[in-house]
Chain A
Amino acid sequence: MSLTVERTLAGLALRQLVSRKRVLALVAVAALPVLLALPLRGGMEGRSPEEALAELYVSFVVAVILPIVALVIGNSVFGAEVDDGTILYVLGKPVPRWRIVLVRILTAAAAVAAVLVPATLLSAVAVFGGLDPARLAVSFAIASVVGGLLYSAIFVALSLSTRRALVVGLLYVIVWEGLLSSLFAGTRALSVRQYVIAIADALSDAGGGAFFAELERGTAFVMAVVVGVATTLFAIRRLQRFEIGEAL
């Protein structure tokens, strides 16, 4: 099966994504958790190195780095083309819109993973000199890839729905996931951050609870699938009805 169309769509998205400034910024962001992990070698404030690393992942990587990186990348895979009208060259082709959306979401997710996975694994290396025995790093890296995919679907759908996708995305991350999820347990069922933590918890060999998941595992899995499918379908519908006129 030839994937020429998919490769072309992904290549075009990546070319727009990869500017020198953006790559440097993303590398700097990816380096942050590694730098913060260095002082955790001997543990911190009475906590073991494993606990300190888990704390770093939960309070910084999944709370800040993952959503911000996904927001920037997810918003870019269509955003620039929508802004300057070049999206016309992609949409004016005999390619079903669902294929275009799926490729772009997967491209964004791959780019997010390319930043998050090294950041996660290297943080563990900074603490343990290698990967940790409880597989915290690997578990969290896998969960981050899933989280990156979900965030990408959400932010791609947002970029096709509003010109203020960045602002709306930031509000979701800061207000919904940061503020409301800590105050109201019910809102956690619609929080990608909570899914990532629950998945990482389930995958690690630490006997569960290493990442202090606040959402029940089964709920997290089911809701992750529901949110991923729903936002992808929504993005497809938006692109199918996407109008390109002079007013753009």
Chain B
Amino acid sequence: MSAQLAEAAVPASPGPAAANAALELRGASKWYGNVVAVNDITFSLGAGITGLLGPNGAGKSTLLHMIAGFLEPSSGEVRVDGRPAWKNPDAYRSVGLVPEREAVYPFLTGYQFALMNARLHGLPDAEAAAEAAIDRVDLRAAMHRRIGGYSKGMRQRAKVAGALVHDPRILLLDEPFNGMDPGQRMHMMELMREMAAQGRTVLISSHILEELHHLANNVLVVVAGRLAASGHFREIRRLMTDRPHTFTLRSSDDRRLASALLREASVQGVELGSATLSVRAADRGGFALALPRVARDEGVTLLELRPTDESLESVFSYLVKR
């Protein structure tokens, strides 16, 4: 998986960083006592947008914090621009991180926050850089208001402004679209695409696959601290849809419907419960067409149909077991 991953995750398109990976992880793990948060992850990334996908608690934030040099790898290596990320403050010249955690200094205005970041980066014209970052995230109208009074979406944009202020070559965003309205999301996605087009490396974490749909060509799937899958967005999408699906049914005659469904090629198995019928379908599309036909032919009335394993966790669990 690792070799395939490295191949898939480094974008094929030529870019300034494509030849030399901007980010590189080799067997990186992080554990706290007996709890393994990140388990033996290897990949390298060049220019472009990569999605880091996984359910909540999968280890995405831990991984991003390791890449950002905020966590020491328990084993393995994490390199940024060829140098270790851990205990290397100089790396922050080329890295910007937007953490998932919401807390931002509530007593600062959006502009003061961007300015504070610019000054700590030692930028020669910190005021101009802060204003430019505020404009990039479309926060000018509220730039002189205190962050404590911001909405969640505005706070997210202030955090992005702080991370962009020094024009980093590598941008790490942990669930950046949380709390943003559709318009703000579109604007932020446009900004990410712009940065990728300029040859920068953008790594975005999300627990929602569709969020990455129009943004990231390459996706890394993390489940329970391990890299479960990687590759092109379409390939990951296919892995997630072409898998057995389980549905729960209620009908006027569950027993009759069950025996009829078992004759269908799209159905792998059925299980009769006390008041429901559970159906495992090998092909979701085929089952969707077969069910109404079978019900009509058998004279059975369908009362309820719902997928039972559509949670993202179950999809990821399936990917891990493959």
Contact = CB atoms under 8 A, between A and B. Distances in A.
B99 A88 contact: yes
B103 interface: yes
Contacts of A247: 32
Given A245-B70, A247-B32, A94 B89 contact: yes
B240 interface: no
Nearest to B93: A94
Contact of A86 (B105, B121, B122): B105
B66 to A, nearest CB: 9
Contacts of A162: none
Contact of B116 (A12, A95, A241): A12
A21 interface: no
B240 to A, nearest CB: 25
Interface in A222-245: 240-241, 243-245
A15 B105 contact: yes
Given A4-B122, A5-B120, A92 B92 contact: yes
Interface string B101-122: 1011101100000001101111
Contact of A15 (B68, B90, B107): B107
Interface in A45-96: 84-86, 88-96
A12 to B, nearest CB: 6
B92 A93 contact: yes
Given A88-B70, A92-B70, A245-B70, A97 B89 contact: yes
B97 interface: yes
User: How many interface residues does chain A have, given as a range?
Assistant: 20 to 34
A241 B70 contact: no
Contacts of B108: 15
Given A15-B107, A243-B71, A245-B70, A94 B101 contact: no
Contact of A89 (B72, B90, B93, B116): B116
Q: Specify which of B32, B90, B99 lies most central, judged by the most chain A CB atoms within 10 Å of its CB.
A: B99
B101 A85 contact: yes
A9 interface: yes
B89 A245 contact: no
Contacts of A187: none
Contacts of B69: 92
Nearest to B126: A4
Nearest to B89: A94
A8 B120 contact: yes
B42 interface: no
B71 A244 contact: yes
Contacts of A84: 101, 103
B62 A245 contact: yes
Contact of A93 (B71, B72, B89): B89
Interface in B155-183: 162
A9 B121 CA distance: 12
For chain B, what secondary structure do more than half of its interface residues adopt (helix, strand, loop), or is it mixed?
mixed
A5 B70 contact: no
Given A85-B99, A86-B105, A246 B61 contact: yes
Interface residues of B, number: 33
B65 A245 contact: yes
Contacts of B120: 5, 8-9, 89-90, 93, 95
Given A5-B122, A94-B92, A246-B61, A89 B117 contact: yes
A127 B69 CA distance: 56
A243 B72 contact: yes
Which of B68, B89, B95, B99 has the most chain A CB within a 10 Å cutoff?
B89
A246 B65 contact: yes
B296 interface: no
Contacts of A245: 37, 61-62, 65, 70-71
B322 interface: no
Given A12-B105, A86-B103, A93 B121 contact: yes
Nearest to A85: B101
Contact of A4 (B37, B89, B119): B119
Interface string A86-110: 1011111111110000000000000
B321 interface: no
A95 B105 CA distance: 19
A95 B88 CA distance: 10
Interface in B136-195: 162
Nearest to A12: B116
A92 B68 contact: yes
Interface in A86-139: 86, 88-97
In this complex, which of B101, B108, B126 has the most chain A Cβ atoms within 10 angstroms of its Cβ?
A: B101
Nearest to A9: B120
A15 B113 CA distance: 13
B105 to A, nearest CB: 6
20 contacts: A5-B119, A7-B119, A8-B116, A9-B120, A86-B103, A88-B70, A88-B101, A89-B105, A89-B117, A89-B120, A92-B68, A92-B97, A93-B92, A94-B122, A96-B89, A240-B87, A243-B70, A245-B37, A245-B70, A247-B32
> What are the 4 closest A-B residue pairs judged by CB atoms, nearest first?
A84-B103, A244-B70, A93-B120, A8-B119
Given A89-B162, A245-B65, 7 more contacts: A5-B119, A12-B116, A16-B105, A88-B99, A92-B68, A93-B120, A94-B121
